[in-house]
Amino acid sequence: MAGPLNRTLGHRRTGAAGPVRRDGLRLTAGLEPVSRSRSQLVLDVLPFLIMAAVAVAAVVAGPDAGLLPLLSLGPAFAAVSSGLGKTTVVGVVALALCAVLAWSQDIGGVAQNSLDFATVAGVTAAAVIASTVRQRRESELAEIRAIAEMAQRVLLGPVPPKLGPVRLAVRYTSAASRARIGGDLYEVVAASCGVRLIIGDVQGKGLSAVKTAATVLGTFREAAYEAVNLETIADRIEISLARELTDEQFVTAVLAQVSADGAKIELLNCGHPAPLLASGSAVQYVKTADRNLPLGLAQLADEHRSQTTVPFGPGDQMLFYTDGVSEARNKAGTFFPLALSDSQHDDADPDGILDRLSSDLVRHVGHALDDDAAMLLVRYDAARP
């Protein structure tokens, strides 16, 4: 099966700025500036359109229609998405329109005009208060998210560009600011038996997901150096997770080991999206044991997890990723075509491959991602015979 990996696994991105490197190797911000959404632009203009429509209707319908209180819809809608300043401006405009229309049409006398004016003024005051409270809560949420992001960046240490016979590259694309931070994780270590790595995704969002990711990564880093095989590492992680997860929580992950000579990769897939292997002109998902349950659910399994061994030749590449990549959709609901491509071109630079793949992902979705997305690329760097 041909795939973007071959276009994305195969082209160095040219003519465009690459992702922002936050630590030189790992994290990327949005690959393209996130412009104001159309819905936000509509919300910005809507209060003024409503007030203009009410003013026109009041003039056309005449003094007896009693439409002036409807001008209060302007500041009411402004409070939904606008800040204190804009909400106040909209309220002042509504009050000014109310006064001008009441004076020009001599509507209802002083008592009625005062009542209409008081109605608009009261709704404006309530809108200003609501906008202030909303902004304060949004600020608090932004601070919480910033703390979670910082904790996540501390957890996701830099990946070396080369270990033994393989070259490595990683990209972590944060979700849109309105989304809660996820529990994506990855790590690579050099053990005596070869290069061992993990990539995974914690169920759930927020600080609890970051805490669980810390548990998984801490156990992996401790066990990866001396564990006999990948199953042993998974068992150690299970023991650690059993102390903090509930029965309904879990972590999907792929553990991998590249042999010391780079000739094979051993995989232990724990309910995670299958990695993509690019070998020559072919790109295909690596089939692993279907019965392997996610980490944290070992007590539900009928049998022990089993690993898969895949040949890995010079120039071959394997892409590990989280569901923020495979489940990213565009406006039509179409998933990102991770394994589709019309042509295949060789590219020896893992960083260039992931730059292009990350750019294609954001372009497919059409806006900043709604879920965090992590990608880890391993390339056998030995020269082809």
pLDDT tens per residue across span 201-252: 998 877 788 888 889 999 999 999 999 999 999 999 999 998 887 767 899 9
Task: Look at residue 153 and tell me if it is in a domain.
Answer: no
CATH number for 303: 3.60.40.10
**How far is the C-alpha of 211 from the C-alpha of 2, rounded, in Å?**
38
- Tell me, rounded to whole angstroms, the distance of Cα 103 from its chain centroid: 54
- Per the prediction, the chain carries an average pLDDT of 81
- Same domain, residue pair 78 and 221: no
The structure tokens 């608090």 sit at: 140
Task: At 263, list the tokens.
Answer: 């000739």
Q: Where are the beta strands (DSSP E) in 32-174?
A: 162-163, 166-173
> In this structure, are residues 308 and 269 in contact, taking their beta carbons and an 8 Å threshold?
yes
Domain carrying residue 128: 38-147
- Same domain, residue pair 180 and 247: yes
CA 335, 341, 345: angle at the middle one, nearest 5? 140
pLDDT tens per residue across span 96-113: 998 888 887 765 567 777
Task: Look at residue 264 and tell me if it is in a domain.
Answer: yes
pTM surpassing 0.85? Answer: no
- Same domain, residue pair 244 and 321: yes
- Same domain, residue pair 49 and 82: yes
**How far is the C-alpha of 91 from the C-alpha of 312, rounded, in Å?**
67
Which of 202, 200, 198, 159 is CA-nearest to residue 181? Answer: 202
- Same domain, residue pair 330 and 371: yes
pLDDT tens per residue across span 242-294: 888 776 789 999 999 999 988 999 999 999 999 999 887 788 899 887 678 89
Amino acid, res. 358: S
Task: List beta partners, residue 317.
Answer: 278, 379
**How far is the C-alpha of 109 from the C-alpha of 124, rounded, in Å?**
23
Distances (CA, A) of 136 to 130, 283, 365: 10, 49, 30
pLDDT tens per residue across span 178-205: 555 668 899 999 998 899 999 999 988 7
* pLDDT-wise least confident of 73-87, 102-116, 328-342: 102-116
- Tell me, rounded to whole angstroms, the distance of Cα 242 from its chain centroid: 27
Last residue of a domain, one of 147, 177, 211: 147
